[in-house]
Chain A
């Protein structure tokens, strides 16, 4: 058989030579002379006539360009009077003016609310928006500036079509979960360097110029980690020749929990408990009516209710931020220097903090006629600081206390703040959760990213060479010290405080983590127009090496006092050191004809250290095309001259993306032993054990993800309405799975390794529309987007079913993923007679544990007993991002006033009530108010024969999780959530220029801004935040934030 030479082979063969060869070609190239020039000057203003600094002024068809200075004035030399000047500025509509005989060209730029202006960031470069052929969306600083969240992901809710959003946890410094089309964890690329979500989230939102998401085959250019889409971030730069400006954005805000379930007071708790005990199978309670009266009065000592929520949760936790940046540029140097400081306290007292200092320094210099060099430095210090609380997550105990602590328990013995009370479960006693008593925990990240780059514009027209070197260093220092402390019981008879509890477990830990990363990139770009043909080519080679070191030590210190760790107190020292290496060769070719037809072909050849040497390399090709129908004469004729449709582009793309994150370790292809798998004491000596790594897995390689996307971009009424529509289908084949058809005896002692046999799909689409208009002096922008993306399992390798129930219940073949199975609650018993006569055994105990108000489950298979076989799909996934995401925004400007509101929402995901959110008195703790307020109960709780009063919730039981009401997932407790919330709202006022001129300010604006002000959803009754995922309702919810702030420019 004749061997076919595949593309990867060609590249492999050519690779060693390719690198140098492409560079060498350009030695041969020579410069050519420039013609004589005419100098043009002018001023650029906005619609109101205010000077616009930093506007790019370029000569069409050349690489010549400058920008306006601080007064909006520019000066540029052109070759002749046929030259066309192009004025472009982010956020404004581009204008082209043919000079003719003019020497002075003054221009008024109109606001463009389409977002990205004329260029859009794509993989390894930028493209003109109209020539983009992939599904690419983005936002710019304009959209992000009004969201004052602490992390970048939290600013993106509802902003970008196709980006799903959920922020289950809202603690200081928390990030949202964002995904592109629900594909999974995206790849982040910041200023050209591949990064992770942590780095993305913690750059200062102030420093971001634009965020672009590559949602389809356009991501393939990032290769083996791009299967879930790519988020490309560009930081701000100074504009050449724009003069200097200093900007300040400062705000101070007040945070409150958006929502948290309420609990009862002591009287209600006691009454509820009596109620619950009388509802037991053996009704009996020690609580007396007289006692209840005392609790109700709450005056006698020992009968007073304590509100733990008020004690722990402090209103109006502050958040401040200040960003100062200096930006500007002369002919040859432009810069952006910025420092941002963010301080965020939490509502859990004032000792649970997050703060961050960011610096960004982007400087580009033209050092020679054709050579530009630049450096971008991004650094930050990120600090998390809170009391050290026993348990893994220090934010857990304070929240758990809200549900765990009874209102009859009190934090201090005899209410004396010198003596924390022994409440039996003192980890939840907030009185001890202070740095003074319980200890401290801090985690600091110090991160420095430096990129150096050089761009050489070769004498060949349109050909540039670019090199980039990036060095990244991150350092984590975590220190935790949990103290020993005492808790007391008060003895009134002799007025003494006796130590009866506390912690005698001193815990000292230190964790350090270092990341060292080097990236080297070489890039060749070619772009030229020949008549109506425009061609472009990009070739990139990239090498990434990343090393991580991690050390964690633990000691049992002798005292609470000193922080140093002594060797003799240590019992654990964990050391890890691993290195990743990746190499990529990227090629892209663009062709367009007459600004009407566009074609892009790209490919990336990627190697990863993770796989066996002969399985390291993968090739990821993509192709896309666009067709601007509205440029076609026949289409124009067909539309007629008065058509509202002014721009319509059809796009289609197809690409193969790689994913090396297939759940195997980096060295699974190697045989051998893993050192340090166990610690064993043999003859009194400590020996670290080694374990056989198992049969090498050399049958698995990357899986391939194929994305097809078809979409269109449109404009109506000359751009007053614009947007896009996309449909996509991603099919992943070669997912891990097991081949079952050869039955290997289990005595072989190992499972056959997974192979690339399964497949799944992710399907969906998104639509966006925006409308912008001006009525008199009022500018008006309204826009929205909606996206849908759901995953479906396609097939596994020859699945086997035992019987049809097994098939129904356990098959995932060709079904939607993440189906929630449970019981269908078809009502509640209305009376004891109904229970007595009910034919179906609902509780598995002949219904003898049931009372009026208890849940009736549907007997799906009609066998008169409720068991496993009666489950059916009742909902969606509870932890992932919503299947449907949408956003809606509104902006109005009038004179100096501006107003904006952004809504976002989600649907098709579920929340499951469980634990505290499901059964009353869980853990013997507090009782949720909703269970108390609206419950089935007897008129007289102490009389089992009294009348039942109906309610929404079943009658109370005391901590009885195994009752049939509570021990199974059902539609009673599962909620398919829909929400829409006012994510941000901002009202600003720009102080008029006349006043500013007197104080020499260029710009001054004050604003008031809100975040998460309200939410419309269907889980309000449960008291939970619609985005939380924790079934017990105890997740730290998102904050409601109100800020006031200023923007100043000097």
Chain B
């Protein structure tokens, strides 16, 4: 009996050891930062800000046909969107649907259109988080004032950019500058904000740039965070948009609303152009940036390097950056590397169109299609495929991999087959396929190892492969390595062009010419 008692005691002890259920069930999370831990720690606030930077809207198209909302963005980590229009085709099974799309509605959230609701860029979730950041960062007591000012200025910069992207698409939008929360009381009227005028949103963007400029670093060294240069470039771009809408909107009076939510009065055009020109001039005169001329003797190479050279690149104002072995790399080269020297069993996806190629001017400033057919019937013969593209704007060869050009020190193998004297075509349906040119003759290669083969994925189906942003580094085409080439969002060259355009619109062609 004594023994039994002992056992009972043991059991009771064991059972009651953890008897406090409340403590037992309180398990601390391992990846959640509580507000009080976060807002007084500069490193952690930067972590929040970094995530906000990460959602910068790189949206050039906004067609929401993609089943995955995050896939609708035309950037370096999303090649397929570049095949939406007629600049390029997609060479991958399952992506051919992109061709021939012609209808790109810009629709407000909640509107229903045929084929399902398609929503334009309308990212109030992002705005809400920016607003929270601006509010919470302001309350931080331990942060140094200049650090706090810079953080808030950066968040305000990003918020202005979101409004700029929204106003571009749908005109005036509700301007929400405080985080909102519903109180579940059944009446949501207090959360409603009317659409602002289109001009008001542009004015907001412009004035925010003026404000944040005061707190941002003026040095051009940072290419990945907001700087004075970026604020000015953005201001110039936004003002130019506003000015153009004001000036040219008169030709489409149906695209306007009486309350000014859509459309900007013509009277404001000059004001905006002036703002744009001045902002651009301010940036130009700062001398912080200049055009990229590291390979001035080879303009094709210069234009290639402009996009992939991350070392003290004087032309880049703002970019989305990547870094090898950080978990933040991009697959642009993996996706479109020429199949014949690909580092994986894939590549060749983005095929620029003939239309794009022929839209590069000849060196004499004229436009012409590729010279293929001889005047008296028959063909023009070239000894080197590259000769077909000779004497064109050097940017062509820097934008498009032409048949016969090199990538990673290997010549591309793009050719479609043989034409027999009788006009018959001998070709194959696979990379480097073989066939007999004459009955009984030997099997010879009749199509390039990069294609083109119709309908064969990864082959250069248009005869071209994209070159811009392609990374010549070994490993850039491997799934496990990929590339750290950045994606440039603002370039000094654009500022010059914007200045020129604004000056031209302000009837100052002499100023435009000088720039």
Question: How far, in angstroms, from A958 to B478 measured CA to CA in the complex?
Answer: 31
Instruction: Give the interface centre of B32, B340, B455 by most chain A CB atoms within 10 Å.
Output: B32
- B378 to chain A: which residues have CB within 8 Å? none
Instruction: Give the interface centre of A493, A680, A962 by most chain B CB atoms within 10 Å.
Output: A680
Binding stretch for chain B, among A620-628, A671-679, A1030-1038: A671-679
Quick check: is A987 within 8 A (CB to CB) of the other chain?
no
Smallest Cβ-Cβ distance to B124: which chain A residue: A749
Distance in Å from the Cβ of A409 to the closest Cβ of chain B?
Answer: 9
Quick check: is B98 within 8 A (CB to CB) of the other chain?
no
- B224 to chain A: which residues have CB within 8 Å? 681-684
CB within 8 Å for A302 and B443 given contacts A675-B31, A959-B455: yes
Question: How far, in angstroms, from A385 to B327 measured CA to CA in the complex?
Answer: 28
Chain A window 777-820, contacts with chain B (Cβ cutoff 8 Å), 1 for yes, 0 for no? 00000000000000000000000001000000000000000000
A672 touches B35 (CB 8 A): yes
CB within 8 Å for A583 and B25 given contacts A543-B18, A683-B222, A748-B128: yes
Question: How far, in angstroms, from A667 to B109 measured CA to CA in the complex?
Answer: 30
Question: How far, in angstroms, from A251 to B154 measured CA to CA in the complex?
Answer: 70
A613 touches B22 (CB 8 A): yes
- A684 to chain B: which residues have CB within 8 Å? 224, 321, 323
A503 touches B11 (CB 8 A): no
CB within 8 Å for A680 and B54 given contacts A522-B11, A616-B25, A689-B48: yes
Quick check: is A350 within 8 A (CB to CB) of the other chain?
no
Quick check: is B121 within 8 A (CB to CB) of the other chain?
no
- B21 to chain A: which residues have CB within 8 Å? 15, 583, 607
Quick check: is A1 within 8 A (CB to CB) of the other chain?
no
Quick check: is A424 within 8 A (CB to CB) of the other chain?
yes
Question: Which of A506, A671, A924 has a CB less than 8 Å from the CB of B480?
Answer: A506
Smallest Cβ-Cβ distance to B478: which chain A residue: A505
- B131 to chain A: which residues have CB within 8 Å? 749
Residues of B27-61 at the interface with A, using a CB-CB cut-off of 8 Å, are 27, 29-35, 38, 44, 46-48, 50-51, 53-54
Question: How far, in angstroms, from A737 to B32 measured CA to CA in the complex?
Answer: 26
CB within 8 Å for A31 and B1 given contacts A554-B480, A742-B186: yes
Quick check: is A556 within 8 A (CB to CB) of the other chain?
yes
CB within 8 Å for A371 and B326 given contacts A19-B16, A748-B182: no
Question: How far, in angstroms, from A465 to B33 measured CA to CA in the complex?
Answer: 45
Residues of A291-326 at the interface with B, using a CB-CB cut-off of 8 Å, are 302
- B46 to chain A: which residues have CB within 8 Å? 682, 687
Distance in Å from the Cβ of A649 to the closest Cβ of chain B?
Answer: 37
Binding stretch for chain B, among A690-698, A843-851, A929-937: A690-698
B345 touches A26 (CB 8 A): no
Quick check: is B210 within 8 A (CB to CB) of the other chain?
no
Question: How far, in angstroms, from A506 to B327 measured CA to CA in the complex?
Answer: 16
Quick check: is A580 within 8 A (CB to CB) of the other chain?
yes
Distance in Å from the Cβ of B73 to the closest Cβ of chain A?
Answer: 15
Question: How far, in angstroms, from A579 to B184 measured CA to CA in the complex?
Answer: 32
Distance in Å from the Cβ of A983 to the closest Cβ of chain B?
Answer: 38
- A522 to chain B: which residues have CB within 8 Å? 11, 14-15
Quick check: is B249 within 8 A (CB to CB) of the other chain?
no
- B35 to chain A: which residues have CB within 8 Å? 671-673
Binding stretch for chain A, among B187-195, B290-298, B351-359: B187-195
Quick check: is B95 within 8 A (CB to CB) of the other chain?
no
CB within 8 Å for A749 and B4 given contacts A577-B30, A744-B188: no
Distance in Å from the Cβ of A423 to the closest Cβ of chain B?
Answer: 9
A504 touches B193 (CB 8 A): no
Smallest Cβ-Cβ distance to A692: which chain B residue: B129
CB within 8 Å for A748 and B191 given contacts A500-B432, A583-B25: yes
- A16 to chain B: which residues have CB within 8 Å? 19
Question: Which of A504, A577, A579 has a CB less than 8 Å from the CB of B343?
Answer: A504
B323 touches A504 (CB 8 A): no
Quick check: is B125 within 8 A (CB to CB) of the other chain?
yes
Question: Which of B26, B44, B188, B478 has a CB less than 8 Å from the CB of A609?
Answer: B26
- A31 to chain B: which residues have CB within 8 Å? 1
Quick check: is B344 within 8 A (CB to CB) of the other chain?
yes
A691 touches B322 (CB 8 A): no
Question: How far, in angstroms, from A20 to B449 measured CA to CA in the complex?
Answer: 80
Quick check: is B179 within 8 A (CB to CB) of the other chain?
yes
A426 touches B345 (CB 8 A): yes
A670 touches B34 (CB 8 A): yes
Quick check: is B255 within 8 A (CB to CB) of the other chain?
no
Question: How far, in angstroms, from A301 to B7 measured CA to CA in the complex?
Answer: 84
Residues of A726-773 at the interface with B, using a CB-CB cut-off of 8 Å, are 742-750, 752
Quick check: is A662 within 8 A (CB to CB) of the other chain?
no
Distance in Å from the Cβ of A337 to the closest Cβ of chain B?
Answer: 25
Question: How far, in angstroms, from A426 to B339 measured CA to CA in the complex?
Answer: 13
A745 touches B480 (CB 8 A): no
Quick check: is B328 within 8 A (CB to CB) of the other chain?
yes
Question: How far, in angstroms, from A674 to B127 measured CA to CA in the complex?
Answer: 18
B25 touches A607 (CB 8 A): yes
Quick check: is B456 within 8 A (CB to CB) of the other chain?
yes
Quick check: is A530 within 8 A (CB to CB) of the other chain?
no
Q: Is the interface of B mostly helix, strand, loop or mixed?
A: loop
How many pairs of residues, A versus B, come closer than 8 Å at their CB atoms? 260
B188 touches A689 (CB 8 A): no
- A15 to chain B: which residues have CB within 8 Å? 21
B12 touches A23 (CB 8 A): yes
Question: Which of A368, A370, A583, A682 has a CB less than 8 Å from the CB of B53?
Answer: A682
Quick check: is A507 within 8 A (CB to CB) of the other chain?
yes
Smallest Cβ-Cβ distance to B323: which chain A residue: A681
B33 touches A672 (CB 8 A): yes
CB within 8 Å for A493 and B432 given contacts A465-B8, A682-B53: no
Question: How far, in angstroms, from A673 to B38 measured CA to CA in the complex?
Answer: 8
Quick check: is A427 within 8 A (CB to CB) of the other chain?
yes
Instruction: Give the interface centre of B14, B26, B131, B442 by most chain A CB atoms within 10 Å.
Output: B14
Quick check: is A570 within 8 A (CB to CB) of the other chain?
yes
Question: How far, in angstroms, from A745 to B193 measured CA to CA in the complex?
Answer: 8
- B456 to chain A: which residues have CB within 8 Å? 924
Quick check: is A407 within 8 A (CB to CB) of the other chain?
no
Quick check: is B164 within 8 A (CB to CB) of the other chain?
no
Quick check: is B170 within 8 A (CB to CB) of the other chain?
no
Smallest Cβ-Cβ distance to B320: which chain A residue: A681
B479 touches A688 (CB 8 A): no
Quick check: is B225 within 8 A (CB to CB) of the other chain?
yes
Question: How far, in angstroms, from A706 to B33 measured CA to CA in the complex?
Answer: 38
A679 touches B27 (CB 8 A): no
Quick check: is A469 within 8 A (CB to CB) of the other chain?
yes
Question: Which of B11, B192, B479 has a CB less than 8 Å from the CB of A467?
Answer: B11
Question: How far, in angstroms, from A666 to B31 measured CA to CA in the complex?
Answer: 11
Instruction: Give the interface centre of B29, B51, B53, B432 by most chain A CB atoms within 10 Å.
Output: B51
Quick check: is B379 within 8 A (CB to CB) of the other chain?
no
Extra pairs beyond A507-B479, A682-B53, A748-B182 (13, CB < 8 Å): A465-B11, A492-B442, A556-B475, A556-B481, A571-B481, A583-B21, A607-B25, A675-B47, A680-B328, A686-B326, A744-B188, A748-B181, A748-B191
| Residues in B lying within 8 Å of A, measured CB to CB | 1, 3-5, 7-8, 11-12, 14-16, 18-19, 21-22, 24-27, 29-35, 38, 44, 46-48, 50-51, 53-54, 93, 96-97, 109-110, 112, 122, 124-129, 131-132, 174, 176, 179-182, 184, 186-188, 191-193, 221-222, 224-225, 321-329, 340, 343-345, 427, 429-432, 442-443, 449, 455-456, 475, 477-481
List the 8 shortest-distance A-B pairs measured between CB atoms, nearest first. Answer: A749-B128, A689-B51, A680-B50, A571-B325, A681-B321, A467-B11, A749-B124, A505-B478
The 18 sampled A-B contact pairs (Cβ below 8 Å) are A19-B16, A23-B8, A26-B8, A370-B4, A371-B4, A489-B432, A504-B478, A522-B14, A545-B24, A571-B325, A578-B30, A672-B35, A678-B50, A680-B328, A681-B326, A958-B455, A959-B93, A959-B455
| Residues in A lying within 8 Å of B, measured CB to CB | 15-16, 19-20, 23-24, 26-27, 31, 286, 302, 368, 370-371, 390, 424-427, 454, 456, 465, 467, 469, 489, 492-493, 500-501, 503-507, 520, 522, 541, 543, 545, 554, 556, 570-572, 576-583, 607-609, 613, 616, 666-667, 670-684, 686-693, 695, 699, 742-750, 752, 802, 923-924, 958-959, 962
